[in-house]
Amino acid sequence: MSEIAERRPRGRPRKERGASSARAAILRAAADEFADRGYEAASLRAIARRAGVDSALVHHYFDGKADVFAAALEAPLRPDRMLEVVLAAPRDEIGERLVRYLLEQLGDPKAAGRMVVILRTVLGSGPGTRMVREFLTREVFSRLAALNDGPDAALRANLAASQLVGLMMTRFALRLEPIASASPDELAKRIGPVLQWHLFGYPEALPD
């Protein structure tokens, strides 16, 4: 072995270490920016300034603000991307597809544990509550509401979201049996129609 080879530092190459350091700096800055300003007011340019990097570097590592937010939060899934997958399904299957996709993505104990931490943050009273609420409102609830053009579209979206949040709390945080051990397919068949009704049902058609 040559002397040069013997003196070569171990671990990742310098370029890779530098890229990792820059990405980490962006994520730290993003966490501070979102905590201080909320999701709506935060911007990629402001995050770049906090991190001391060019804004183009933020775009290099992340697709957009939602991507940076999810990475900074260490979210086990991207709700906005979840909707992209789910909404590609036929309209009459959206409710079941939402439940099944959510439970499959959180099937790993580590992912489920991280989601529990995020849910507890949302239920608290700190800055995390505001930034998660604004993220979900803009990236998830507004897109769900757009599925129905009625005057109660926003209410429908929030009711559907309440079902999903309640499911995650009972299955992963409270571990309430038999919900905690039920299969994703069974829960999708039982809860999916409820979501479907919230999103597309017609309350005025119900009997008094």
Per residue in 36-65, pLDDT (tens digit) is 888 889 999 999 999 999 999 999 999 899
pLDDT over threshold 50, residue 1: no
Mean predicted confidence (pLDDT) in 105-130 = 84
- Listed residue (119, 102, 112, 113) closest to 188, CA to CA: 102
Same domain, 69 and 112: no
Domain count, the chain: 2
pLDDT over threshold 80, residue 17: no
Out of 23, 40, 73, pick the residue that ends a domain. Answer: 73
- Listed residue (189, 192, 165) closest to 98, CA to CA: 192
pLDDT over threshold 70, residue 125: no
Q: What is the DSSP letter of 10?
A: P
Same domain, 43 and 109: no
Same domain, 17 and 92: no
Same domain, 83 and 173: yes
Residue 24 belongs to domain spanning = 1-73
Mean pLDDT of the chain: 84
Out of 73, 98, 132, pick the residue that ends a domain. Answer: 73
pLDDT over threshold 80, residue 9: no
pLDDT digits (tens, 9 = 90+) for 153-196: 889 989 998 999 999 999 999 999 999 999 999 999 999 999 99
- Listed residue (53, 69, 68) closest to 18, CA to CA: 53
User: Who wins on pLDDT, 109 or 89?
Assistant: 109
Q: Which residue has the tokens 């949302």?
A: 122
Same domain, 11 and 92: no
- Listed residue (2, 40, 47) closest to 22, CA to CA: 47
